[in-house]
Amino acid sequence: MRILPKAAAAVLMASLCLPMASGAQQLPSAPIPYETLNPKAAPRAPARPRPAARPPSVPTTATAGTGVAGETPEGLAAPTLAPEQLEAYLDGVIGSAMARDRIAGVTVSVVQGGQVVLKKGYGHASLSPARLVDPDRTLFRIGSISKTFTWILLMNEIQAGRIRIDAPVNLYLPETLQVRDQGFAQPVEVAHLMDHSAGFEDRTLGQLMERDFNRERPIAQYLRQERPRRVREPGLFPTYSNYGVGLAGQALTYVTGQPFEELVETRITQPLGMTRTTFREPHPPRAGIPAPMPQALAQDVSEGFRWTAAGGFEARPFEYLGHLAPAGSASSTAADMARYMIVLLDDGAYGESRIFSPATARAFRTPLRPNEAGVNDWPHGFIAYALPGGRKGYGHAGGTLSFTSNMVVVPDLDLGVFVSVNTENGAELATRLPGAVVGQFFGPDQAPAQQGTPELARLGAMYNGHFLGTRRAYVGLERFVGFILAGVSVRVTPDGRLTTSGLAGTQTWVPDGDPAAGRFVSTTGSQRMAFMIENGKAHSFRGTFNDARFQRVGLWSQPQALAWLAALTILAAVSTLVGLALRNRRDLRQTQIQSQASLIQTIQAVLWLLAIGLFVSWVSGAGDTAKVVYTWPGVRMILASACALVASALTLATLASLISIWRGGRRLDSWPVLRKVGFTATTLIYAAFAVVLLHWGALTPWSS
């Protein structure tokens, strides 16, 4: 991806409570059954037996690889990872990725059987002064992995009976933060926040992250001022929402009377001994803002980097996310995340204490709303991963502008993998590494399918089309950018395979069963996608992570239509200005109305060229994703929109003048026919372009 697509990747990833007397979370003596926690779900089978509680210490690499292995899906004992072989493999994979993708630093940890098999740092955490990545000391931003801490705290309150999972979230929020109905009949429930089905639009630009601490706001103020629109009834389907997780964090604060950061510390990180994990950020103390990260941690936080066109790493300012801490402000080390994964695999047990109950552990592996499509079904806020060999993992990925992280635990293998990179270009490594480890050491049950089918080739009309994702803004200039970034084109090839093409690249799929059923598997791995089909036509689909629904759209919502109309507008505008310069005296004979219409169309030509030129200029500067997010919408985008708005408004005048233009006056005092045809064609092109821009939200310079 380049320029605007590169910005899209970061934007779309990012792409984010009763005080206890003792350190460990105390749960009810009689655990509440899972079916009580989630009365809408079907009963679940009993959890598999777990080993006895492990001691509250995480062995070093030297003692790793001696724990009890889990069970494979076939019921055979899972192989135990050998530290030396794992380290050699990771050295090769990570080293190659760092050189190929220009990654400054990586931190990784792998656990199995209650032991740390490997924890290791690669590259640099800072360049000036030079500081190497230390898996025990260096803190990386883990982004949306932060959400798993929020879900643990929330599920504990649900199990304690202080929050009901099927109750409206407004019951647990102060009046100023309650979700307004906005014309929708159904209230947003707690469960809707956990599987991202609340129905919010997703806004990112200009407010999700800050680089200037002076712009930081308390979370309650942020949630009040940046309230997204509700765009659909809750519970229909997931569309990832950082805002929804922020509401969950505030519900915890409202119910317990304890700030969110303190809740994490007293109920999770301190009891686990995760002394180098924090939701606090490095900044000066300020009233109304949570206390800063301790200096002993702040000095070990990795910088974030981007690889510049000049051929070097550029350090970026710290990315402030404290205003939405429950969704993404955590920083941690590979060693601390190893301890966290061991507890997740041991159903919340930590020594003689429990961070969460076995019922909660089952919930984190059980979907709130089951589906049979093979895609992520959001097991109570966690992500379900399809892994090689038909295995299933659980965890979460996380991305800021510079950091990308991934944490996956595989209960069947008693395995956990955590990886984080500190450079914008490292998303592919972080995304693929856990699955690569599983595939390398535990083996896929079969090679990915490669061949298409003649049956699918005959069904091209069912699937071919352009689909627009629901994870985007729905009004204003950000809607305009969302139309460009969130679109995916689907095509069936003559050899019976299906391709999806968007700004993230092109991927190839083959049918997973009956081609008419709408389920597909990637030709390069275990990813899946599922189409929803009505009346013989696919109207939408969901991808592996099921974080948005992609819905079929018509011609006027497709980038190709916008591009063609922009090209025609440029041609018409240039022709208008050239004609003005070359027109002879005979051609200057015109009625008063024709003279005024010509002046208006000349002004339009200048405005359209300015608008398109300013937008192209904005795109050319969008290679730095941080600049796009922090400075949105920026002077160039506002001016481009304003020029387009005025040009579009003037189109109303030229449209109204068409009848008078064609009537003209006497033959010698009026335009020739060819000029009338040219004026009419130009007016219609401008009108069509204006209508599409209005539909895309590009004519709202006042909206950021």
At residue 558 the predicted structure's pLDDT band, cuts being 50, 70 and 90, is very high
Parallel, antiparallel or unpaired: strands 349-350 and 353-354:
antiparallel
Residues 99 and 55 in one domain: yes
Per-residue pLDDT averaged across 511-540, rounded? 92
pLDDT per residue over 432-455, tens digit each?
999 999 999 998 755 666 788 999
Q: Are 304 and 319 in contact (CB under 8 A)?
A: yes
Q: Residue 176's pLDDT is what?
A: 96
Q: Is residue 614 part of a domain?
A: yes
Mean pLDDT of all residues belonging to the chain:
87
At residue 55 the predicted structure's pLDDT band, cuts being 50, 70 and 90, is very low
Q: Are 531 and 518 in contact (CB under 8 A)?
A: yes
Show the tokens assigned to 103. 């990654």
pLDDT per residue over 628-652, tens digit each?
899 999 999 999 999 999 999 999 9
Checking if the pLDDT of 700 tops 60, the result is yes
Q: What is the CATH number of the domain that holds 33?
A: 3.40.710.10
- Other beta carbons within 10 angstroms of residue 152's beta carbon come to 25
Q: Residue 592's pLDDT is what?
A: 83
Show the tokens assigned to 504. 């993230």
For tokens 């992500």, name the residue. 383
Q: Is residue 606 part of a domain?
A: yes
Checking if the pLDDT of 376 tops 80, the result is yes
Q: Is residue 701 part of a domain?
A: no
Q: Residue 405's pLDDT is what?
A: 98
Q: Is residue 198 part of a domain?
A: yes
Q: Where are the alpha helices (DSSP H) in 202-310?
A: 219-225, 242-256, 260-264, 270-272, 295-298
pLDDT per residue over 592-611, tens digit each?
888 899 999 999 999 999 99
Q: Residue 589's pLDDT is what?
A: 75
Residues 402 and 523 in one domain: no
Residues 482 and 571 in one domain: no
Closest residue by Cα to residue 34 from 412, 357, 384, 410: 357
Is it true that the peptide bond before 129 is cis, omega within 30 degrees of 0?
yes
- Other beta carbons within 10 angstroms of residue 567's beta carbon come to 12
Q: Are 426 and 442 in contact (CB under 8 A)?
A: no
For Cα atoms 395, 219, 423, give the angle at the middle one, nearest 5 degrees: 50
Q: Residue 516's pLDDT is what?
A: 94
Residues 109 and 213 in one domain: yes
Checking if the pLDDT of 481 tops 70, the result is yes
Q: Is residue 702 part of a domain?
A: no
* The total number of structural domains that make up the chain: 3
Q: What separation, in Å, do the N-terminal and C-terminal C-alpha atoms of the chain show?
A: 25
Cα distances (angstroms) measured from residue 65 to each of 306, 334, 346: 36, 17, 16
Specify the range with the lowest mean pLDDT, choosing from 68-82, 343-357, 380-394, 649-663. Answer: 68-82
Q: Residue 590's pLDDT is what?
A: 78
Checking if the pLDDT of 14 tops 70, the result is no
Residues 566 and 542 in one domain: no
Q: Residue 447's pLDDT is what?
A: 63
Residues 405 and 465 in one domain: no
At residue 584 the predicted structure's pLDDT band, cuts being 50, 70 and 90, is low
* Residue 88: strand pairing partners: none
Q: Where are the alpha helices (DSSP H) in 407-496?
A: 427-442, 454-457, 460-463, 476-485
At residue 668 the predicted structure's pLDDT band, cuts being 50, 70 and 90, is low
Residues 587 and 466 in one domain: no
Show the tokens assigned to 390. 């038909």
Q: Is residue 134 part of a domain?
A: yes
Is it true that the peptide bond before 633 is cis, omega within 30 degrees of 0?
yes
Cα distances (angstroms) measured from residue 316 to each of 158, 212, 626, 630, 641: 40, 12, 8, 12, 29
Q: Which of 414, 442, 470 is the last residue of a domain?
A: 442
Residue 45 or residue 388, greater confidence: 388
d(CA 297, CA 280): 10
Residues 339 and 459 in one domain: no
Checking if the pLDDT of 219 tops 80, the result is yes
Residues 500 and 608 in one domain: no
Q: Are 188 and 219 in contact (CB under 8 A)?
A: no
Determine the structural domain holding residue 320 and report its residue range: 4-442
Q: Is residue 449 part of a domain?
A: no
Checking if the pLDDT of 5 tops 90, the result is no
Tell me the DSSP string of 550-599. EEEE-GGGSHHHHHHHHHHHHHHHHHHHHHHHH--TGGG---HHHHHHHH
Q: Residue 625's pLDDT is what?
A: 85
Q: Which of 518, 533, 553 is the last residue of a domain?
A: 553
Cα distances (angstroms) measured from residue 418 to each of 49, 335, 337: 24, 10, 7
Checking if the pLDDT of 20 tops 90, the result is no
Q: Is residue 448 part of a domain?
A: no
Q: Residue 235's pLDDT is what?
A: 95
Residues 664 and 526 in one domain: no
Per-residue pLDDT averaged across 127-142, rounded? 97
Checking if the pLDDT of 52 tops 50, the result is no
Per-residue pLDDT averaged across 655-667, rounded? 79
- Quote the DSSP letter at residue 54: P
Tell me the DSSP string of 320-370. B-GGGHHHH--EE-HHHHHHHHHHHHTTTEETTEESS-HHHHHHTTS-SS-
d(CA 118, CA 101): 23
Residues 166 and 204 in one domain: yes
Show the tokens assigned to 264. 């994490």
Residue type at position 227:
R
Per-residue pLDDT averaged across 210-230, rounded? 96
pLDDT per residue over 96-111, tens digit each?
999 999 999 999 999 9
Report which secondary-structure segment, H or E, holds 87: helix 83-101
Residues 532 and 648 in one domain: no
Q: Which of 537, 553, 569 is the last residue of a domain?
A: 553
